[in-house]
Structure 1
Amino acid sequence: MSLARTLARRAAVQAVYQWQLARDSLPDIERQFVEELQLAKSLYRRHAEGFELSPPEREQLEELLEKFGRSQGTDNVEEEDVTLEQRASQCQVPDVQVGYFKELLHGVANNLALLDAALAKYLDRPIDEVDPVERAILRIGCYEFMRRPETPYRVILNEAINLAKEFGAAQSYRYVNGILDRVAHECRAVEMAARRRG
């Protein structure tokens, strides 16, 4: 499981969520996220090299690390109590595979009817009534099952569960797991059968 791909999925969930709610144009959303990712890398690099950041730059870096960085070890600390130094030392450098982020964002939007039809078989309500965060995660996971056969289904499923734990409601990871596991049985039947035999 590549950290750069994990972070690309994390950014894609936020971008798909934004697209679902606001229906902004995909190029505008993509541009916004890519610019923010580039700024995050630049500020993080300057901070790591010991350059003094201005107060607005420090604030921007904190926000961008929260948005794009993968936290490690701050689970039991109140968010407002985490300093920039703590956040920077406990986050992975926001090194996102931008190409993969773009593929996920556009892949979901361009295959929406196909993805929603595959998910609808296993949902307990219409797709538009599913929580927007869960919906974004489900669509991305379903896209990867269908269009990224080289990525093992367990990786896709685990990544979706982790995203639901991070962004979703308290028990949404169970819902995401249940739906995507059923989709995987349909889309990746051969892979799953081989795994059971091996």
Structure 2
Amino acid sequence: MKPSERRKARRFATQAIYQWQITQDPITDIEEQFKVDQDMKGTDLDYFSELASGVAVHTAELDQVIAPLLSRPFEEVDMVDKAILRLAFYEFVKRPDIPYKVVINEAIELAKTFAAEESHKFINGVLDRYAQAQLKS
């Protein structure tokens, strides 16, 4: 698997998760819509589906891991930041085969692309706190 194919999968998954958070439409419908409406050539489609559906299925579990690491209530976190954090924590929790540095770097890049100007710093801080705690345990 090429890293660029995974990167594209993460980009599309972030957008799909964001749409799911806003619309509450079934994630499978959103995935199918993306496969029809987006140019997904060069994308790891299996990984895209795993991330999108995995976040949707495990949202409550992921949010429980994320919330204690935040400096504000989870409800106040921007929806784009939530989508990126949920995707990153899905990889942390459900995909231990992916190095934590890759997860953090990819999430920062997603934040720089999709989120508000300073969001990448916020996301980096949250992910770094989690990674450091995991390394100590």
> Which TM-score band applies after superposition, normalised by the shorter structure?
over 0.9
Secondary structure, in 3 states, of the residue corresponding to 1:169? coil
Q: Specify the alignment match of 2:116 in structure 1.
A: 169
- 1:129 maps to a residue whose letter is E
- 2:72 paired with 1:125: yes
- 2:135 paired with 1:189: yes
TM-score, normalized by length of structure 2?
Answer: 0.93
| Alignment check: 8 A CA contact 2:28 2:53 kept | no
Question: Unaligned regions of 5+ residues in structure 2, if any?
Answer: none
Question: Which shifted more, 125-134 or 159-168?
Answer: 125-134
- 2:50 paired with 1:25: no
- 2:36 maps to a residue whose letter is E
Separation in 2, partners of 1:126, 1:109: 20
- 1:6 maps to a residue whose letter is R
TM-score, normalized by length of structure 1?
Answer: 0.65
Q: What is the CA distance between 1:36 and its match in structure 2? A: 2.5
Q: What is the CA distance between 1:98 and its match in structure 2? A: 0.6
Secondary structure, in 3 states, of the residue corresponding to 1:189? helix
Query: After superposition, what is the alpha-carbon deviation per residue over 1:81-117, rounded to whole angstroms, capped at 9, x for unaligned?
Result: xxxxxxxxxxxxx411010000001111111111101
Q: Give percent identity, aligned residues only.
A: 46
Secondary structure, in 3 states, of the residue corresponding to 1:11? helix
- 1:189 maps to a residue whose letter is L
Q: What is the correspondence of 1:1-198 to structure 2 with a 5 Å cutoff?
A: 2-37=3-38, 40=39, 94-186=41-133, 188-189=134-135
Secondary structure, in 3 states, of the residue corresponding to 1:24? coil
Question: Where in structure 1 do 4 or more consecutive aligned residues deviate above 4 Å?
Answer: none
Q: What is the CA distance between 1:185 and its match in structure 2? A: 2.5
Which has more radius of gyration?
Answer: 1
| Alignment check: 8 A CA contact 1:142 1:183 kept | no
Separation in 2, partners of 1:149, 1:141: 11
Query: After superposition, what is the alpha-carbon deviation per residue over 1:51-101, rounded to whole angstroms, capped at 9, x for unaligned?
Result: xxxxxxxxxxxxxxxxxxxxxxxxxxxxxxxxxxxxxxxxxxx41101000
Separation in 2, partners of 1:149, 1:142: 10
Give the RMSD, CA atoms, in angstroms: 1.6
Question: Unaligned regions of 5+ residues in structure 1, if any?
Answer: 42-93, 194-198
Which structure has greater helix proportion?
Answer: 2
Separation in 1, partners of 2:73, 2:18: 17
